[in-house]
């Protein structure tokens, strides 16, 4: 359920897009004012929708059309009208609208008169003095725009790893069509599996850099070239993402792979170790004086520094060198280790697929067990389950168990932790469940002590198995709650409860650092998908990356166990 602020942001975006398209000024203003009204509303839109005696049109300034749009948005989480608008306007143009001080009207003039469709083109046009010649623009405007571009670039959101992955795979497939490409890899933060990626860094081994770059330049989604040299090149894609390409020969490939994978902090430690040994390391290899010692493979370079090969997710200059020196690098958990998925939804609440469809999809993915965890009744917008409906779903699970083989279907629930503390369903109901995962969806802005107390209260309940998305953060969109994770972990340890690593690419909650902290506390992690449709089951691999970055092994992750073992672990 979107918050008032989220609804307001959507209405505001609709206003921007309508204005950009030159829509009627009254219409634009209706959305703009509507956004402000909802943003300033002292109570939640949801409360009004829930109350049958009231209507959104009762709010002054919200007409019938707007009320319908808001209701659609509130109940489905998306707005088809906005999607339509977005489809008509190229993604790169949207970046223009976000430049402080430019605004949709001026952006539209630039787009129509000068054909400017992205930030690089706009910057070039300003610098060439073309913008000041337009009606309604001046030299001063040009300067303001240039400053705005800089600001916008800084504020430019890093993209989710999952989105970067889709682009990276397309780029690699494209590069594989070039006969001059020998080895190739996406390096940088992407290879380290960071939750967000600033830009993509592609490394290619080839003895014909020109041919590789010419081929790369034909990638269809390139919006503009940022620069090109003899062996390197940078472009911006239509989506706004920058891609750096570097071409090296075979002798340097391992050294360059190491260098460009980073992190920078990891590289700095490597350089220090090289220096200690009278060696020099750079992206071309490892050298004694001017003699090339190694560089074809990453392993060779690490070996020259008396180190084992270190998995990229660990390369953050955290504990990897300490572990490597003690010959104690963790054997990181892998997707293939995962046996079950313990958080998913069905059409009984806000899922898109039925119980049967989710089970079939889990079987296809070779999962050995799944827990069905629809929302509890407090989440009214999602049609959360009360005891009666939950028991009806469990009866259905009983029937399906008879006709299903190869997979265990667990009776679960995602039970809300109430604002005032306590759980949304009675203990006697929870006692009948195989698996209870608890989460905070309301009262997220409470002070630290209160929200921590609520979560620990759930952990103390003997029927509870795990805490879902323990900090509630949404990457780039919503800060974590003020929760004291240290206290939560201590409680989880004391009561033998699990903490979730929610694999949704927008959540990845717990994050890598918190996963490592949980391990230090002796708390096991359960990596779950929180799937709301069948394909949602595929996000597990993003959670695995985050767990790897946290240094987790198979043993640290509860759902690598059989259900019988896991059940014992949580004392059920």
Closest residue to Zn ion: CB criterion: 530
Nearer to Ca ion, 224 or 354 (CB): 224
Give me the sign of the Cα torsion angle 268, 271, 277, 278.
Answer: negative
Q: Determine the Cα–Cα distance for residues 387 and 556; give it in Å rounded to an integer.
A: 33
> Could you tell me the two tokens for 550?
């946290």
> Could you tell me the two tokens for 420?
């005032």
Q: Determine the Cα–Cα distance for residues 195 and 511; give it in Å rounded to an integer.
A: 8
User: Least distance to Ca ion from the beta carbon of 151, Å?
Assistant: 21
424 binds Ca ion (CB under 5 A): no
Q: Determine the Cα–Cα distance for residues 371 and 482; give it in Å rounded to an integer.
A: 29
Report the residue from 298, 414, 511, 512 that binds Zn ion according to the rule CB under 5 A: 414
Q: Determine the Cα–Cα distance for residues 199 and 241; give it in Å rounded to an integer.
A: 6
* Binding partner at 530 among Zn ion, ligand DGT, Ca ion, none, C-beta below 5 to 8 Å by kind: Zn ion
Count interface residues toward ligand DGT (CB under 6 A). 13
Cβ-proximal residues to 395 (8 Å cutoff; 6+ apart), any chain: none
Nearer to ligand DGT, 81 or 160 (CB): 160
* Binding partner at 260 among ligand DGT, Zn ion, Ca ion, none, C-beta below 5 to 8 Å by kind: ligand DGT
Name the one range near Ca ion by CB under 5 A: 3-11, 187-195, 317-325, 404-412: 187-195
Cβ-proximal residues to 456 (8 Å cutoff; 6+ apart), any chain: 487, 488, 491
> Could you tell me the two tokens for 151?
């600001």
> Could you tell me the two tokens for 240?
């706004």
550 binds ligand DGT (CB under 6 A): no
320 binds ligand DGT (CB under 6 A): no
Q: Determine the Cα–Cα distance for residues 341 and 504; give it in Å rounded to an integer.
A: 13
Nearer to Zn ion, 503 or 546 (CB): 503
Cβ-proximal residues to 34 (8 Å cutoff; 6+ apart), any chain: 11, 61, 62, 66, 70
239 binds ligand DGT (CB under 6 A): no
267 binds ligand DGT (CB under 6 A): yes
> Could you tell me the two tokens for 233?
């090149």
Report the residue from 264, 388, 479, 568 that binds ligand DGT according to the rule CB under 6 A: 264
Report the residue from 530, 550, 563, 566 that binds Zn ion according to the rule CB under 5 A: 530
Nearer to ligand DGT, 2 or 262 (CB): 262
Q: Determine the Cα–Cα distance for residues 60 and 62; give it in Å rounded to an integer.
A: 6
The 58-97 site mask, x for binding ligand DGT (CB under 6 A), equals ----------------------------------------
201 binds ligand DGT (CB under 6 A): yes
State how far the alpha carbon of 539 is from the alpha carbons of 506, 520, 529, in Å: 11, 26, 6
Cβ-proximal residues to 541 (8 Å cutoff; 6+ apart), any chain: 335, 503
Report the residue from 130, 199, 419, 538 that binds ligand DGT according to the rule CB under 6 A: 199
33 binds ligand DGT (CB under 6 A): no
> Could you tell me the two tokens for 328?
């104690």
404 binds ligand DGT (CB under 6 A): no
User: Least distance to Ca ion from the beta carbon of 560, Å?
Assistant: 31
User: Least distance to Ca ion from the beta carbon of 95, Å?
Assistant: 19
Which residues sit at the interface with Zn ion, rule CB under 5 A? 414, 530
Which residues sit at the interface with Ca ion, rule CB under 5 A? 188-189, 199, 201, 244
């Amino acid at each position: 359920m979107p918050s008032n602020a989220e609804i307001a942001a959507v209405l505001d975006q609709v206003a921007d897009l309508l204005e950009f398209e030159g829509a009627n000024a009254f219409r634009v203003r209706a959305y703009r004012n509507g956004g402000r009204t909802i943003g300033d509303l002292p109570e939640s839109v949801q409360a009004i929708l829930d109350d049958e005696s009231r209507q959104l049109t009762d709010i002054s300034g919200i007409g019938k059309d707007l009320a319908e749009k808001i209701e659609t948005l509130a109940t489905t989480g998306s707005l088809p009208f906005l999607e339509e608008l977005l489809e008509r306007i190229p993604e790169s143009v949207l970046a223009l609208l976000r430049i402080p001080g430019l605004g949709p009207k001026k952006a539209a003039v630039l787009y129509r008169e000068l054909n400017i469709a992205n930030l690089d083109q706009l910057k070039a046009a300003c610098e060439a003095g073309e913008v000041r010649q337009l009606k309604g623009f001046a030299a001063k405007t040009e300067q303001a725009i240039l400053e705005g571009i800089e600001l916008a670039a800084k504020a430019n959101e890093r993209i989710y790893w999952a989105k970067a992955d889709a682009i990276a795979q397309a780029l690699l497939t494209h590069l594989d069509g070039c006969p001059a490409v020998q080895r190739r890899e996406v390096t940088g933060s992407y290879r380290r599996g960071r939750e967000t990626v600033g830009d993509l860094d592609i490394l290619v081994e080839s003895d014909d850099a020109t041919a590789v770059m010419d081929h790369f330049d034909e990638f269809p989604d390139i919006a503009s070239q940022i620069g090109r040299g003899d062996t390197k090149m940078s472009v911006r894609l239509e989506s706004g993402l920058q891609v750096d390409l570097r071409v090296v020969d075979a002798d340097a490939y391992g050294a360059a792979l190491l260098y460009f994978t980073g992190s920078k902090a990891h590289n700095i430690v490597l350089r220090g170790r090289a220096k200690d040994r009278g060696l020099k390391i750079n992206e071309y290899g490892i050298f004694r004086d001017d003699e090339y010692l190694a560089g074809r493979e990453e392993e060779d370079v690490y070996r020259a520094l008396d180190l084992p090969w270190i998995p990229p997710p660990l390369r953050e200059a955290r504990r990897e060198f300490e572990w490597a020196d003690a010959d104690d690098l963790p054997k990181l958990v892998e997707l293939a280790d995962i046996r079950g998925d313990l958080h998913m939804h069905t059409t009984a609440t806000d899922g898109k697929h039925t119980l049967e469809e989710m089970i079939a999809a889990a079987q296809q993915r070779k999962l050995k067990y799944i827990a069905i965890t629809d929302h509890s009744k407090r989440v009214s917008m999602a049609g959360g389950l009360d005891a009666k409906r939950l028991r009806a779903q469990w009866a259905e699970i009983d029937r399906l168990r008879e006709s299903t083989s190869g997979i265990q279907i667990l009776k679960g629930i995602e039970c809300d932790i109430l604002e005032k503390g306590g759980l949304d369903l009675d203990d006697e109901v929870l006692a009948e469940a195989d698996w209870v995962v608890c989460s905070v969806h309301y009262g997220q802005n409470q002070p630290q002590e209160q929200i921590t107390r609520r979560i620990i209260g759930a952990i103390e309940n003997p029927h509870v198995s795990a805490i879902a998305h323990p900090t509630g953060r949404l990457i780039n969109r919503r800060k974590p709650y003020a929760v004291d994770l240290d206290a939560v972990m201590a409680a989880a340890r004391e009561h033998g409860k699990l903490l979730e690593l929610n694999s949704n690419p927008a959540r990845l909650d717990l994050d890598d650092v918190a996963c490592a902290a949980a391990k230090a506390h002796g708390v096991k992690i359960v990596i779950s998908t929180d799937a709301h449709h069948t394909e949602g089951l595929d996000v597990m691999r993003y959670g695995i990356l985050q767990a790897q970055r946290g240094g987790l092994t198979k043993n640290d992750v509860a759902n690598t166990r059989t259900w019988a073992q896991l059940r014992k672990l949580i004392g059920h």
